[in-house]
Amino acid sequence: MNLKELQNDWINAFSQPLMIAGPCSAESESQMLETARRIRETNANVPIFRAGIWKPRTKPNGFEGVGVIGLNWLKKVKEEYGFKTATEVANAHHVFAALEADVDILWIGARSTVNPFTVQEIAMALRGTEKTVLVKNPVNPDLALWIGALERLLGQGIKNLGVIHRGFSTYQKTKYRNNPNWQIALDFKSQFPNIPMLIDPSHICGNRTGLADITQEALNVGYQGAIIETHSNPDEAWSDASQQITPEVLSDLIGNLKVRSTDLAGFEGDMGRHRTLISDIDFQLIELLSQRMKISEKIGKLKKENDIAIFQPERWKVITEYATQKAVETGMSKEFIEKIFKAIHEESIEVQNNIMIDR
Ligand code: PEP
Ligand code: MN
Instruction: Give, for ligand 1, the residue of 24, 87, 108 to mutate: max count of ligand atoms closer than 8 Å to Cβ.
Output: 24
Please name the residue whose Cα sits nearest to atom 10 of ligand 1. 110
Could you give phi then psi for residue 70, rounded to 5 degrees?
A: -65, -25
Ligand nearest, relative to CA of residue 166: 1
Mutation pick for ligand 1 pocket among 49, 106, 139, 166 (CB with most ligand atoms within 8 Å): 166
pLDDT at 40: 98
The amino acid occupying position 244 is Q
Cβ neighbours of residue 190 closer than 8 Å, sequence gap 6 or more: none
Q: How many whole angstroms from 319 Cα to the centroid of ligand 1?
A: 45
CA of residue 110 to ligand 2 center, whole Å = 11
Ligand 1 atom 4 nearest Cα: 109
| pLDDT tens per residue across span 104-159 | 999 999 999 999 999 999 999 999 999 999 999 999 999 999 999 999 999 999 99
Provide the sign of the torsion angle of the four alpha carbons 84, 85, 86, 90, taken in this order: negative
Q: Report, as ranges of residue numbers, the positions in the chain whose pLDDT lies below 50.
A: none
| 169 CA distance to ligand 1 middle (Å) | 12
Q: What is the pLDDT of residue 33?
A: 98
CATH code linked to domain 268-356: 1.20.59.10
Distance CA 8, CA 76 (A): 28
Tell me how far apart the alpha carbons of residues 165 and 218 are, in angstroms, rounded to a whole number.
9
- For the chain, the structural domain boundaries read 3-255, 268-356
- Give residue 317 CA to ligand 1 midpoint distance, Å: 50
Q: Which CATH class is domain 3-255?
A: alpha beta
Question: Hey, is 220 helix, strand or coil?
Answer: helix
Query: Whose C-alpha lies nearest to ligand 1, atom 8?
Result: 109
> 268-356: same fold as 3-255?
no
Question: Measured in angstroms, how far is the CA atom of residue 202 from the centroid of ligand 2?
Answer: 7
Q: Looking at ligand 1, which atom is closest to the CA of residue 52?
A: 3
Which ligand sits closest to the CA of 52? 1
pLDDT digits (tens, 9 = 90+) for 266-284: 677 778 888 899 999 998 9
Distance 274 CA to ligand 2 centre (A): 30
For the CA of 167, the closest atom of ligand 1 is: 9
For the chain, give the number of residues. 359
Look at residues 310, 79, 96 and name the one whose alpha carbon lies nearest to residue 87. Answer: 96
Question: What pLDDT score does 262 carry?
Answer: 55
Please give the Cα distance from 269 to 262 (Å, whole number).
7
Query: Considering only CA atoms, which residue is closest to atom 2 of ligand 1?
Result: 24
The pocket around ligand 1, CB under 6 angstroms, is made up of: 24, 52, 56, 109-111, 136, 166, 200, 203
| Per-residue pLDDT at 255 | 97
